[in-house]
Each structure stands twice: as structure tokens, then as C-alpha cells.
Amino acid sequence: MSNIKLFESRKIRSIWNEEENKWYFSVIDVVAALTDSLNPRDYWYRIKQREKISGIELSTICRQFKLAAPDGKFRETDCSHAEGLLRIIQSIPSPKAEPFKLWLAKVGYERLEEIENPELAGTRMRELYKAKGYSDEWVEKRVRGIAIRDELTNEWKKRGVKEQLEYAILTAERSGEGNSRYHAHPLHLLSNCTRLITK
């Protein structure tokens, strides 16, 4: 299953990888959106070469998938999952990439704080939901739901559930979704992070 997503008002080709249960995105499309380069393929090549000199092999976080090119033909294209894209963005020396780098630094620092003080994660989650306009009642119901979900998945784990697909099937059965099929698309996190930073 392939798809096109919008990122900074630019089209980003994407494809769902069934075996890994992950979305993959065209690196060249993301590079084009963040650099306005006339030749994003060459720009991506130069990024890889520069990082290689530093001892970092960005190609290891990419896979090639056949995606439709502007001429309609399918060509092998470097693609990466959301985590890999966030790493690649760190290597792009562009003012458009800077908000993502700042956001990554902020999120990383907050995560370190939460490791030191786990209660901070719950506090931040409540604040985020309230900032999105949810009522106190809704937020508390959501927090209770997450706690119940954690207890349930821990129980499933004790009973031998190991694979992500097994959890997905049990969750779908529990919620009555049965045969529905939905793949979360993480690109919206990337495209909206600049808005989150400025708040």
C-alpha cells in the first residue's frame, strides 16, 4: 500500500511495509521539502557522503522501495521510517530543518526528565490534552483508560502474547473492530511539530 502525504505543503510519497508494520517515507521528498533544493537527489547524496566521512552511515536507516515518480514510472527510492527520518533531518543544514532539530532536543530533554521523575510524563500528558481543548473530565477518563490498557497488555504479556500483531488483533477484538484495518501514520507528527514548538 503506497500513499502520498502532505508535509510543509509538499507531497511526500509513502509506503506501508507489511513485514515491519511501519510507514516508510521518501527521503528525497522530505529533503526537497526542507531544503527547496532544485536537485534533492544530489543533495541527499551529498548529505550521505558528508556523514560517511564522520563515520555515520545514513544508508543503514533507509530501505529502497519502488515508488511512483513524477513521470508515472515506478523507481527504487530511498525511504525511511519516522524515527530514521528524524535522524536524517538532524543532518540537513537548512533553516527549515532547524525547528525539527529544536523540537527533537526539547523532546529528548523532556524524556530524560521523565526517566528521572516518571510522574512528569503523566503531568505533561494532562497538560497537552488540556492545551488541545479537552475537558478535565475527558482528560481523567483518558488517563484511566491508558492505565487500564497498560494493565491489560501486561496481563496479555504474562499469558504469552509477544508479537505486535497479536496485540493489535486482541485490541481490535476487545474494541469490537474485528476486521477493520488502520495503520497509524506518524508523518503528521513531523509536519505539526513546528506548531507545537511555537506554543
SS (H, E, C) 68-110: ECCCCCEEEEEEECHHHHHHHHHCCCCCCCHHHHHHHHHHHHH
Residue whose cell numbers read 500528558? 125
pLDDT of residue 70: 83
HSE, side-chain direction, 13 A CA sphere, residue 182: 7
Kindly state the average pLDDT of the residues 118-145.
90
Using one digit for the tens of pLDDT, what is the confidence trace for 40-63?
999 999 999 999 998 999 989 999
Given a cut of 50, whether residue 7 has pLDDT beyond it is yes
More confident of the two residues 184 and 52:
52
Span of 18-22, 62-66, 78-82 with lowest mean pLDDT? 18-22
pLDDT of residue 36: 84
What percent of the chain has a predicted confidence (pLDDT) above 70?
A: 83
More confident of the two residues 188 and 139:
139
pLDDT of residue 3: 53
Four-point Cα dihedral 148, 152, 153, 155, nearest 10: 140
Span of 78-92, 130-144, 184-198 with lowest mean pLDDT? 184-198
Three-state DSSP class for residue 16: strand
pLDDT of residue 179: 45
What mean pLDDT is reported for the chain? 82
Four-point Cα dihedral 148, 154, 155, 157, nearest 10: 150
Kindly state the average pLDDT of the residues 60-89.
92
pTM beyond 0.85, yes or no: no
For 115-184, strand residue ranges (E) read none
Using one digit for the tens of pLDDT, what is the confidence trace for 151-175?
888 888 888 887 777 777 777 776 6
